[in-house]
Amino acid sequence: MTRWLDDDEQRIWRNFLAMTQLVNERLDRQLQRDAGMPHTYYMILVALSEADGRAMRMTDLARRAQSSQSRLSHAVARLEERGWVRRTRCADDRRGNTAVLTDDGFAALAAAAHGHVEEVRQVLFDALTPEQLKALDDISTAVRGQTVGGSS
Amino acid sequence: MTRWLDDDEQRIWRNFLAMTQLVNERLDRQLQRDAGMPHTYYMILVALSEADGRAMRMTDLARRAQSSQSRLSHAVARLEERGWVRRTRCADDRRGNTAVLTDDGFAALAAAAHGHVEEVRQVLFDALTPEQLKALDDISTAVRGQTVGGSS
């Protein structure tokens, strides 16, 4: 009963996978080289920088960063060692720890942003036409809508 | 001189990132749950299963799986512990170790394939129209062409 992929579908799938892997590798390589952090850390700092008081509960941060709790805890522990994030526990909040972006963390993010944005431009926006960007936006929305309602 | 993203570009970029993360998470979750392996291991087994003699030099395997040498070495060591892959060194080949898929590894891949392909269908192919799949294929090719010629 397995709905195997035909040759064309197989090719499209592998092309898509290779594309996403290359994008991730380029983002990681640039950020590691120029800012000493992987893309996952960058996304955590961005999420905190945009939150009220630059603080988020760990559960909300995991959802926002689309990360498992265990992976997020590990990453935040590393960020805390660097002095970029600190964790607090409010006495009146039984829902768990809160992560707060420090001034040093905000400065690290600001310093990293320039090179990262340039890499994002080069890897995606410079490669695609306005029509392709519109199509990619619609495709992303369709897959996410499907996924949200899927087996997860 | 930084070419910052405008609001629309920012939204497209985040939509794309969230989509690729969800796809990766769903593939990983299904394979971990039903086959006890992450998607990265599955891709290594697929690459070996399609190679002559089900064997590849580690350097070629890293390129094929778009993985760094260190990450691939780690993954292959885990696969070797499971008896799915073994590593050999040919006396006449100074270019390094070769990874070989074992019969047990091939059986593990075959058993995992059904559920994986169904997940791929649900997460991507069922969500998109034929026109969107064609557009995604062209987009993937454009980004990969750009990336291959980029700063890497």
- The 10s digit of each residue's pLDDT in A58-103 is 999 998 887 778 889 999 999 999 999 999 876 666 656 899 999 9
pLDDT of A141 reads: 97
Residues of chain B contacting residue A121, judged by C-beta atoms under 8 Å apart: 3, 5
Find the mean pLDDT for residues A142-148. Answer: 78
Nearest beta carbon to residue B143 from set A114, A127, A138: A127
φ/ψ bin of A104: left (φ > 0), alpha (ψ from -120 to 50), beta (otherwise): alpha
Residue from B34, B127, B60, B46 nearest A10 by CA: B46
Residue B2, judged by CB atoms within 10 A of its CB (0-12, 13-18, 19+), counts as exposed
A98-116 tens-digit pLDDT: 999 999 999 999 999 999 9
**CB nearest A143 (choices: B23, B144, B146):** B23
Confidence bin at A127 (pLDDT 50/70/90): very high
- The per-residue pLDDT for A68 is 78
Average pLDDT over residues A38-57: 95
Neighboring chain A residues of B22 at a CB cutoff of 8 Å: 66, 143-144, 147-148
- The answer to whether A66 contacts B18, with C-beta atoms less than 8 Å apart, is yes
Partner-chain contact A151 B5, CB within 8 Å: no
Q: Is the pTM of this model over 0.90?
A: no
pLDDT above 90 covers what percent of chain A? 80
- Candidates B124, B133, B137, B148: best to mutate against A (most CBs of A within 10 A) is B124
Predicted confidence band of residue A152 (pLDDT cuts 50, 70, 90): very low
Q: What is the mean pLDDT of each run of 10 residues along chain B (152 residues)?
A: 90 96 93 95 96 94 83 94 91 74 98 97 96 98 73 42
pLDDT of B93: 59
Selecting from A20, A117, A147 the residue whose C-beta is nearest the C-beta of B123 gives: A147
CA distances from A145 to A66, A136, A152, B108, B124 (A): 15, 14, 12, 32, 11
Contact B15 A137 (CB under 8 A): yes
d(CA A61, CA A97): 11
In chain B, where the domains are located: 27-114
CA distance readout (Å), A95 to A15, A47, A73, A83, A91: 42, 19, 15, 24, 10
Return the pLDDT at A67. Answer: 75
To the nearest 10 degrees (0 to 180), the angle between helices B103-123 and B39-49 is: 120
Best mutation target among A125, A132, A146 (most B Cβ atoms within 10 Å) is: A146
ipTM: 0.88
Strand ordering across the sheet containing A55-57 = A55-57, A98-101, A85-88
The CATH code that applies to domain B27-114 is 1.10.10.10
Residue contacts between A and B (CB atoms, under 8 Å): 169
pLDDT at position B13:
97
pLDDT number for residue B64 = 84
Helix, strand, coil percent content, chain A, rounded in steps of 5: 70, 5, 25
Asked if the Cβ–Cβ distance from B19 to A127 is below 8 Å, we say no
Mark yes or no for CB contact B13/A118 under 8 Å.
no
